[in-house]
Structure 1
Amino acid sequence: MIPFNKPYLSGSELVYIEQAIKFGKLSGNGFFTKKCHLFFEEKYGFKKVLLTTSCTDALEMCAILSNIQPGDEVIVPSFTFVSSALAFIRVGAKIVFVDSYRDHPNMDSNMIEGLITSKTKAIVAVHYAGVACDMDCIMELAEKYNLVVIEDAAQAIDSFYTGKDGKKRALGSIGHLAAFSFHETKNIISGEGGMLVINDERFIERSEVIWEKGTNRAKFFRGEINKYEWVDIGSSFLPSEIIAAFLWAQIENLEEIQKRRLKIWNTYFENLKEWVKPLNIKTPKIPKYATNNAHMFYLECASLKQRASLIEHLKKNKILAVTHYVSLHSSPFYKEIHGRRDLCNSTYFTDRLLRLPFYYELDVDKVINVLNQYEE
């Protein structure tokens, strides 16, 4: 069976985990945590980085840092993972869902301004499949209405956005705050794991406090104070050194991982671009302002029935392909609160999108050959 995903291992993960054990400090913010922080800050120009136990944790920290209060509104795309909204629901926010573009699952930036009210406090820009949202438009709206922009960059490591000014910037470095995932399905992994990025100076000091259970413990360990105390709300968001050591082994191989994933993505694209036409299937679109970090390869099927048929065809040939998000606005938890506003493009991707197997060791030619045998 060709699975949908298979975690990549560099071979150094156990070596570094053993080192972490020998260092005698397994709790968070140790040697490997600091190495990871420094790498991301230097490579991508993030002002401040804090590893977390998940991207969900990083988003929850964003909700706290943004000072979201009960009744505040947060604009979130409907076609996304539940954490993009859940982090803000937990602090009492009302989620206002925005539709996708007709030709891409990302949030339609042209629809955002019409959803902004006096209660709006933040916009969550989810970079679907590692492909950038229209960040110039989103940041301009944030400045105009004094909003916080949170980049949900869970899938977007090593992906970039080129703005109107011609500057190429890493995703996660543009918004006031950002959250990344190192879940085992991502380009680089730590099993479970995430990262908070802080690009706005006003949030930096408080982020360390929230990260360390509401204490100023980070200052204490830097020798800036002679004791640490409980000074704010927070939780135990930081991961252990074992997780950070595993992640460091992945980071060291980021270039090679990306090179291989891009080769797989391009092989899919080049070999399927003619196959899809008579079936009325579409391949992924990459806007001119965005780069492709080869997080996933998906197809937009012509119908729900066709998608089910393709899944079954692949399954019969021992290949697992999967659907993706069920739009959050139609979820049992939020359907009544959302109301009757139709988000037809988000629903379209819920019904049509099919993700093909994608991982470092994938025999992509076999998947392509099986697809070529498909008949409606």
Structure 2
Amino acid sequence: MFDIKWIRENSEAFDAGLARRGYEPSAAKLIALDDARRSHITKLQDAQNRRNAASKEIGKAKASGDEAAAQAVIDEVAKLKAFIQVGEEEERKLVAALDEALAVIPNLPHDDVPDGEDEAGNVELRVVGEKPVFSFNHKPKEHFELGEVHGGMDFSTAAKLSGSRFVVLKGQIARLERALGQFMIDMHTQEHGYTEVSPPLLVHDTALFGTGQLPKFEEDLFKTTGDHYLIPTAEVPLTNLVAGEILAEEELPLRVTALTYCFRSEAGSAGRDTRGILRQHQFQKCELVSITRPEDSLNELERMLSCAENVLKKLGLHYRVMTLCTGDMGFGARKTYDIEVWLPGQDTFREISSCSVCGDFQARRMNARYRLKGEKQLGHVHTLNGSGLAVGRTLIAVMENYQNADGTVTVPEALRPYMNGLETIG
């Protein structure tokens, strides 16, 4: 969310940034809303000042015995009081109108983010590893074909229980999913310095506003009762750990991670990836969140990306890193890297992680600040988030890349300690 004062002082840069994201210029409209708010506040203040002065005049008029003058001032005060009462409600409406307009404006891209309208404009940064070479001659199977053959992925029972875009995992595949999640969380806490957190899966709407899912993307969320929603990603509770807080500079960077279930309605993805578990309403993800000083956030993005990449490297999976263009970035991001893993069954790369730096965009929405060391001055922190990784998509990648001719799947060496030494499933 933006500071209207900053927009006033940088209106051309603001509109230019929006244009890069495919949005219409908005500075003039926002400034007009702010002008209306300011003008009304000035009128209210003038009325309040006059009421205060008039209240004193009543006593003086009565003391001098001029009842007519006193009554005239009393009538004036009554009118001013009525105007102020109505005006305060109008002020709330004007403030709300400005806040609502600001709330749906996306973050502005960094200067080095490539311009583009959609994913076709993304730029390949690097490719790591090689495509697997299989000993069999037939086309590699997709994960759901492998899972259904051995009964480890049950979509019909899931449909009976919950509808489409759900799955029941059973036996060794369920165990492999659990192993992947444990492997990720252990790696990030023991090797990468993140602190493990077990957050609530239900959050208030204020938390979702803070990270930018509300109000613009409500259709993608699962609302429960009252103002509670199921989390679409652990980014929401993890980033909101600092909402409303004033951190000491020496506490930064703050790095936290969580392995949680996530819930998404996929309202904007109707008809896409309907087979298998690539796009589910419920899935597990290992989330990474960093809270930093402004001058450290871009370096922290590179560090976070490296942490996510290390998971794939240890699993021996072929992948590439993409820099997202302006038209493909998320609402709150200033710069985003996607990691795309190779899926032999689909014969293509698919996203398995996104790592984004949001600058102070989320911090302003949730009022998360820090105090500079040795100073009284406060500044907004910078926030970052990334997948380290999406567990279900990593399960897909392991199954497809490590499949054998008979439909079994070799367990990557890094996961065998979590599988009690099991080398093959299926």
| TM-score, normalisation: structure 1 | 0.27
Please say which structure displays the higher CA radius of gyration.
Answer: 2
Structure with more of its chain in helix, by fraction: 2
- Structure possessing the higher relative contact order (Cα contacts under 8 Å, 6 or more residues apart): 1
Structure with more of its chain in strand, by fraction: 2
| TM-score, normalisation: structure 2 | 0.24
